[in-house]
Amino acid sequence: MSDFREIIEALEQHLEWRAELRRLILTEELLTVPATVSQLVQSQQHIDEQIRQLTQAQRQTTEQIQQLTEQVGQFGSRVEELTTVVKSLAESLQKIGDDVAKLKEFLLEDRYHSRGGVLQQARPTNPRHRP
């Protein structure tokens, strides 16, 4: 082998010499670069898959939060409606109570006047209860 071109031709013909020459010329770090790059590519693919899964999970979480927010709003409206109904019922109950009190008062006055202004002891309406 007298010139550089002959060396290259010999290396092209003898592939096993290339590996030996690489080992002699390149440092250990440079020899491991292809394996390291392959590992990095695999790691990146794994990370990309995890990001895709996390992105999908985040979308689902966002949708669920939106649905829950809508439900809370609906519950808030329903609570307002029920509060209005309860207030109305309370007012009606108060009016009924007032009306019952007026009727009792009227009934007592009517009894008093029908008996000539004399109050009598009230009798129990339950037949089992006798004084």
pLDDT digits (tens, 9 = 90+) for 34-73: 999 999 999 999 999 999 999 999 999 999 999 999 999 9
Q: What is the average pLDDT across 98-108?
A: 94
Mean pLDDT, residues 12-31:
85
Q: Looking at the predicted structure, is the pLDDT value of residue 118 above 70? A: no
CA distances in angstroms from 2 to 8, 13, 14, 22, 35, listed in the order given: 11, 17, 17, 21, 35
- Residue 89 to residues 37, 38, 64, 94, 131, Cα–Cα distance (Å): 76, 75, 37, 8, 40
Task: Give the pLDDT confidence of 70-97 residue by residue, as tens digits.
Answer: 999 999 999 999 999 999 999 999 999 9
